[in-house]
Amino acid sequence: MAKYLFIATLLLTMNTLFIPTVFAETNPKAPQLASQSAIMIDADNGSVLYEKNSTTSMYPASLTKIATAIYAIENGDLDDTVTVSENAVDTVGTTVFLESGEKVTLKKLIQGLLINSGNDAGNAIAEYLSGSVEQFAKDINEYLKHEIGVEQTHFENPHGLFNPDHTTTAKDLAHITSYAVQNEEFRNIFGTVEMKWHGKSWDTTLISHHKMLKGEFPFDNVIGGKTGYVDQSGHTLATLANRGNLNLIVITMNGQTQNKAYQDTANLLNYGFDHFETSSLQGGEVVEIQNQAYKIPEDLKYTHVKDQISITKQLTKQGKLEIYKQNGERINSYHLMKIHHDDGSSQMEAAKNSNSQLNLGFYLSSILTGIVMIGIIGFVFRKIRIRRKSYKSFM
């Protein structure tokens, strides 16, 4: 019996060489929020880590200016001089006190827009880019849909002053912000706490309105942000924070008080940094499906619960690599680079060998598991029979 038990143990040990380590997928308990709508995503890969009513249509208020700023950076010349019109300065709410006829560079207007939330700066940017605020609204909606890929956003102006048709969602705003912070120019302005402002009628120091960024609501990891408020929107807040290799974006919408919006943001950031981490798939790896090889062009990052790596990687016929949690929820997806037969035969062969080894390991694993299970079941039944015989002899 000891001999058979040794063999079964040996087979079980060999079997573990072919079975990937899998941990149970258990999501940590998320905080309860006061804001009506919220979302937290990984800023670098878009993985959604938390959401509450994230696709509900909401009024963004001045978070609109995130979209205006990145659109201006990508479609204008930052060194261009903009002549401010009478129509641009004829606005309400927060301004940088521009004067009609004042000449300001586009970059300075974007700084006034993001740091001091200047509505007049937003109007001047819109007229510079599109000729009018009305045409700008059409242009930026096309940009947001086709360049960034959001589908539930419709803007009527560049600043977010209330209009019943000026709406978006927390999820769309998160992806707009994620897109924007990949741009170094935007990221620098988004993270500016204060700057000197020398205007025709206003000489001052602009200070960010975001209390976490400037330290009034302490949170060490915040590196960028934008605030918003109109009566109809409640308090809206966009925040970028970093710890280690993890960059998080939090959007909260319709907070009933400013303090609750910041507290919701802090709670989500603590939850995110405490419970999630980023892993990556190595660039250069070649995979194959239906005799077509695809190459992972660069390191692909995805974010998951810490110490829980039970993921499934699936390659579609179109060369799209999809990563899923154990519960079937998709974490992220990536389009891979197709390798043509004339220049990638050796890499295709490597992919075939890799897949063959993977399949061989899977089949060996299954066979060995079956052998071990049969051995264990036989051993258990034999023990039961021996005990029954002993019991009858005793009787």
Residues comprising the binding site?
Answer: 226
Cα separations in angstroms, 268 against 38, 50, 254, 261 = 9, 8, 16, 11
Catalytic-labelled residue, pool 35, 37, 54, 62: 62
- Torsions phi, psi of 214, nearest 5? -95, 0
Query: For residues 290 and 341, what is the distance between their CA atoms, to the nearest angstrom?
Result: 13
Active site residue 178: no
Active site residue 208: no
**Sign of the torsion formed by the C-alpha atoms of 284, 287, 291 and 292:** negative
Catalytic-labelled residue, pool 52, 65, 171, 295: 65
* Residues shown for the chain: 395
The neighbouring-strand residues paired with 293 are: 288, 339
Active site residue 103: no
∠14-20-22 over CA atoms, to 5°?
125
Catalytic-labelled residue, pool 35, 47, 54, 117: 117
Positions of E strands within the chain? 37-42, 48-52, 81-83, 103-105, 194-198, 203-207, 222-230, 234-243, 246-255, 276-281, 286-289, 292-295, 300-305, 311-315, 320-325, 330-335, 337-339
Cα separations in angstroms, 237 against 40, 206, 321 = 12, 19, 33
Annotated binding site for substrate: which residue ranges? 226
Residue positions annotated with a catalytic role: 62, 65, 117
